[in-house]
Amino acid sequence: MNLTHLDENDMPRMVDVSLKEDTTRVAIASGKIKMSKEAYTAVIEHKVKKGNVIQTAIIAAIMGAKKTSDLIPMCHPLMITSVKCDVEELPNLPGFKLIVRAKLKGKTGVEMEALNGVCIGLLTIYDMVKAIDKAMEIFDVRLEEKMGGKSGHFKRDSKES
């Protein structure tokens, strides 16, 4: 198997996408954070001293998606046209699920941007709530769906939730 980020001498390289066609590409990623009931209640009731946790996490997720190429060495800088975030309350966990949808029209996909957005958003929740619960867990960070590009459409089986 040839790895696209290695040249013929096994040296790292950024893949040349200049000959690829521009297509609309969308990626959706998600992840969860589990916390104590006390921490969950503080977030829901807006009683976290650092401010509105959910709004801040959404802003952080958007920034994370936009900064992906600064953090992941072989990612191309992309002209993202849209980043949308949803946060689901999971009272039985207790915790939250963050979903990030990234979109662009370009030569390469936005999977890494959606995934990075999820990670940064969840880490922001951790940062803002750690004074209440240092034992929080971030888990199930994964690509849910991707559309566009040569490799076609991918959608995670809904049974894997």
* Of residues 16, 14, 28, 1, the one with CA closest to residue 143: 28
Q: What's the CA gap between 126 and 136, in Å, rounded?
A: 7
Angle between helices 53-66 and 111-129 (to 10 degrees): 150
DSSP state of 51: -
Q: What's the CA gap between 108 and 5, in Å, rounded?
A: 14
Is 16 an active-site residue? no
Single-letter amino acid, residue 14: M
Q: Which of 7, 22, 86, 127 does the annotation list as catalytic?
A: 127
* Of residues 112, 58, 65, the one with CA closest to residue 85: 58
Tell me the catalytic residues.
127
